[in-house]
Amino acid sequence: MQTTRAIVLHEGLRLPDDLANMAEKPLPRLIAHLDMDAFFASVELLRFPQLQGLSLVVGGRSKSIAHQMDRLLAEYGSHERIAADRMPRLRQYQGRGVITTASYAARAFAIGSGMGLMKAAERCPEAILLAADFERYRDYSRRFKAIISSHGLAMEDRGIDEVYIDLTHCGDIDAAQDLARHLQSSIFDATGLSCSIGLAPNKLLAKIASDMQKPNGLSLLTAASIQEKLWPLPVSRLHGVGPRTAAKLQALGLHQIAHLAACKASDLQAHFGLAHGRWLIDASRGIDERPLVLASEPISMSRETTLERDMHPKQDRLELGAVFTRLCQQLAADLQKKERLCRAVSVKIRNDQFKTSTRDLSFAQATDDPALLRHWASQCLKRFNFDRRIRLLGVKAARLIPKHPKPASPAATLSALHDEDRRLENRALNLPEQFQPFEPTQHPLWPELEPIPRPPDTWE
């Protein structure tokens, strides 16, 4: 059995020469990370202003909670008139949903995004619980991003509530801070929502900075302030260090980012591999050369659901089959809405012991058809070992291509086809067995999920 030994740190840690020199020069880049404050909860507070200052949690899909809100809305006539003491409480929730977001008042009870609602109820039973309204959140997301775009700024869209903005053109930090404050006030005036902004020479540091003075904060993190502001933070604050990596680092005696920065690259690479070990060293020293991605195409789309109860793969196969079909239909609708076709699918299963497994496969004929998606996804099921109850089920479409591609020149088309053939050959030679092409077969446990269809005439 392999044991974990603590990594010996360098003595007399100081800023590397290249970063020390950078600290004395004008910033080569100036990147802002703009993050909306408790976005979903804040949007709900616009609709329910009577909840300002109260503990509010958004999440879950409880039908009883939804029906309670419908009755209250019918009784009071409008959202803002509903008495706060009549609204659903977290202690009422029964199920396995998780928190989507929580207000800052609720966060004071050590609850936050991703936490199970039942666990959160133990800490703050009187918090008000609202179901998520993603259409409303997407609308407000479009609004705040439109304001940024109206200023003619180069922006990388990172999700529903955050963006990176290139402010290098400002020339100096003072001008960038003035523009950042102007963006904050413009967004608030137009939407009633606050945001926090981090300014730094790269995306990694900007994201860390935006979280330093929430809500409505403006923070600066440069090479000159890495020792003071970055190194005292726990390793988990590095964007890209998840719970497992953080736990492994802590087992090695590396608790603060300063400890990471003091390591030899070879020591970290022995535990995390060449690329990841090198990245950990660079990130701990504030090094990040990634450019802003100003326009990108989605590389995958997915749908998943946490089941209301742990389901037995055999005893509950009909109910699981219905969930599986619904996920495939929803995924197909997402592809059709975005006008994308997929050439690969994967299935994700999390069991009642929280072990997550995925299986995937590729196919030649790109599709957005729900029946075909379900057919190919069902083929992934045959690779799972169904020895535990199922907690979560998900389906993902990958290797996306436009449904209506722009015409390309004949030479470019032939080159692309050649590259794709070569890529597929390399894939077949190098991928492990579970990713190799195979003949579609029925799953021995869920045969009724997918009778094998006769392939269309267009298939080869």
Q: What sign does the CA torsion over 165, 168, 169, 172 have?
A: positive
- Quick one: pLDDT band at residue 354, thresholds 50, 70, 90? confident
- Quick one: pLDDT band at residue 460, thresholds 50, 70, 90? very low
Query: The whole model's pTM is what?
Result: 0.71
Distance CA 319, CA 316 (A): 5
Reading the block at residue 261, the tokens are 């920065």
Span 317-341, mean pLDDT?
93
Among 163, 165, 138, 137, which Cα is nearest to 151's? 165
Whether the pLDDT of residue 275 is over 60: the answer is yes
Question: Is the Cβ–Cβ distance between 151 and 170 less than 8 Å?
Answer: no
Task: Pick the more confident residue, 306 or 417.
Answer: 306
pLDDT for 98 equals: 87
Q: What sign does the CA torsion over 329, 330, 331, 335 have?
A: positive
Distance CA 288, CA 282 (A): 7
pLDDT for 114 equals: 85
Span 128-147, mean pLDDT?
93
Catalytic residues, by residue number, are: 162
Torsion-angle region of 218 (φ positive above 0: left; ψ -120 to 50: alpha; else: beta): beta
Question: Is the Cβ–Cβ distance between 382 and 443 less than 8 Å?
Answer: yes
Span 425-444, mean pLDDT?
40
Question: Is the Cβ–Cβ distance between 449 and 321 less than 8 Å?
Answer: yes
What is the β-pairing status of strands 195-200 and 218-220? Answer: parallel
Span 92-116, mean pLDDT?
89
Please write the tens of the pLDDT for every residue from 173-206: 999 999 999 999 999 999 999 999 999 999 999 9
- Show Cβ contacts of residue 187 under 8 Å, excluding neighbours closer than 6 positions: 144, 147, 193, 194, 195
Span 325-337, mean pLDDT?
94
pLDDT for 95 equals: 82
Computed over every residue of the chain, the mean pLDDT equals 84
Burial class of 27 by CB neighbour count within 10 A (0 to 12, 13 to 18, 19+): buried
- Tell me the residue type at 124: C
**Alpha carbon of residue 136 to chain centroid:** 19
Among 63, 98, 96, 117, which Cα is nearest to 308's? 96
Span of 80-84, 346-350, 398-402, 454-458 with lowest mean pLDDT: 454-458
Span 264-293, mean pLDDT?
91
- Tell me the residue type at 128: I
Whether the pLDDT of residue 57 is over 90: the answer is yes
Q: CA distances (Å), 25 to each of 20, 176, 190, 391, in order?
A: 9, 17, 37, 53
pLDDT for 231 equals: 95
- Quick one: pLDDT band at residue 171, thresholds 50, 70, 90? confident
HEC string for the chain: CCCCCCCCCCCCCCCCHHHHHHHCCCCCCCEEEEEECCHHHHHHHHHCHHHCCCCEEEECCCHHHHHHHHHHHHHHCCHHHCCHHHCCEHHHCCCCCEEEEECHHHHCCCCCCCCEHHHHHHHCCCCEEECCCHHHHHHHHHHHHHHHHHCCCCEEECCCCEEEEECHHHCCHHHHHHHHHHHHHHHHHHHCCCEEEEEECCHHHHHHHHCCCCCCCEEECCHHHHHHHHCCCEHHHCCCCCHHHHHHHHHCCCCEHHHHHCCCHHHHHHHHCHHHHHHHHHHHCCCCCCCCCCCCCCCEEEEEEEEEEEECCCCCHHHHHHHHHHHHHHHHHHHHHCCEEEEEEEEEEEECCCCEEEEEEEEEEEECCHHHHHHHHHHHHCCCCCCCCEEEEEEEEECCEECCCCCCCHHHHHHHHHHHHHHHHHHHHHCCHHHCCCCCCCCCCCHHHCCCCCCCCCCC
What is the rounded end-to-end Cα distance, in angstroms, of the chain? 49
**Percent of the chain at pLDDT above 90?**
64
Span 74-78, mean pLDDT?
94
Whether the pLDDT of residue 432 is over 70: the answer is no
pLDDT for 154 equals: 92
Distance CA 265, CA 274 (A): 9
Distance CA 197, CA 33 (A): 5
